[in-house]
Structures are given as structure tokens and as C-alpha cells.
Structure 1
Amino acid sequence: MSTVIRFPRRRPAVEPLWREAVGGVIRQERQDQGQRITDLAERAGIAPQYLSEIERGRKDPSSEVLGAVAGALDLTVAEVASRASSTLSRATSTGPVCLAA
């Protein structure tokens, strides 16, 4: 009767990052509009590689860059932020949100 039952360890929930939510909003809107990453980057005045990193949540764009990308998508920064916030709210309905990395 000395059997030990081991339960799998629970992995701590990974908090979503603001830059990932913003990048996801930008990518989704670009794809919904049928735009290529190179065309959007050119209109926003940034390198396609940088835009790709923003979309993948690897880079946190400055307010100026975010404004340029949002404008190139015919959105406001407030619209991008609102959509990102909604994404985070859905993803973290049971936990905290990490807004800075």
C-alpha cells in the first residue's frame, strides 16, 4: 500500500504580451485587406523585415511606427489598441495580462 501516484506538473500559464496582440491585429487586418507585407511596409515607410517582426510579436513598435502602420491600414492607433486589448481580454479571462516586456 505504499504506491505513489505522481500527477503531471501543471505548467504556469504564459501571459500574453502586448506586442504579440498588436502584431496579431496588424497581421489580421493586412490579410483581411489582401495586402502584401512589402506593400504595407512601403506605405508605412518601414522595412518589410521590421514589419514582419512586429506582426510576429518580436518587436515592440514605437508610437510613431505604430501610427504609420495603422495609418497605412486606414486605422487609427486607438483602433489597433482597442482590438489588441479585446484580444488580450479574451486570452486572459482567467489570468493577468503583461503589457510590457
Structure 2
Amino acid sequence: MILLRRLLGDVLRRQRQRQGRTLREVSSSARVSLGYLSEVERGQKEASSELLSSICDALDVRMSELMREVSDELALAELAQSAAATDPVPAPVRTFNAVSVASLTGVAEDRVTIKSPADVVAGVAA
């Protein structure tokens, strides 16, 4: 089962880590407890839109960018889930974001555009 809260938490953690910031720094800036932010990042708590807005402000990331990345991750997870359901022998599944596609294809990260899961499959095959 794909849980949106886990995908959202993964994306938030990657955003924070890309900036080299600690949970403590972001929780203080977002005015949310360290423990609660940690639970959101681990996908254990559902974040309200108000909380997401505060975290995005603290990370200086537009919520639309965050949700776009979550949407890409969700599309890939759905694709992997449907492929696993139709395959008689389960194959290992790996999700890719723009950073990992860029590293696999040798294309600069800011040049990777993922419009659909098929783009990722094509990008990885290239």
C-alpha cells in the first residue's frame, strides 16, 4: 500500500538534507516541535496544510514544488506497484527522483524533466 504521508515525509527530509540543515533548525524556524517534525519526516504523522506551509516556509521551498516532487514519487510508486501486480515473479523496485535520474543518465539535475513515469523509465534506459 502506498502511503502519501510516507512519500511526503521522504521528500521533506530530502529537501532539508539538501540544504544541510538539522531537524532542530527547521523545527525551530517552522515553530513545530522537533519530535513532531521527525514523525512527519518518517511518515508516522499526517501533516496539516498549515503545518506543511510552515515547514515549506522554514525550508524556503514553495509548497507547489514540494507537492510536485511528491506527485512524481507517487506516480512512480503506483507504476511500480502495478508492474509488480502483473509480474509473475516480483522484481526489485527502485524509485527515482530527478537527482537519481540525472546521475544515471549523465544529465544535469536541473535539465531533468519528469512529466510521467514513462519519462523516468526512458531516461534510465537511455
Structure-1 residue corresponding to 2:90: none
- Runs (4+) of structure 1 exceeding 2 A deviation are none
Whichever structure has more helix as a proportion of its residues is 2
TM-score, length basis structure 1:
0.77
Give CA-to-partner distance per residue, 1:34-78, whole Å, 9 cap, x none.
000000000000000000000000001110000000111111211
2:19 pairs with 1:33: yes
Which residue, out of 33, 37, 55, partners 1:47? 33
- Alignment RMSD, CA only? 1.2
State the shift of 1:90 in Å. Answer: 1.1
Structure 2 residue ranges without an equivalent (≥5): 83-126
Structure-2 residue corresponding to 1:71: 57
In the comparison of the two structures, how many residue pairs are matched? 82
Q: Which residue type is aligned with residue 81 of structure 1?
A: M
Percent of paired sites with the same residue: 35
Structure 1 residue ranges without an equivalent (≥5): 1-14, 97-101
TM-score, length basis structure 2:
0.62
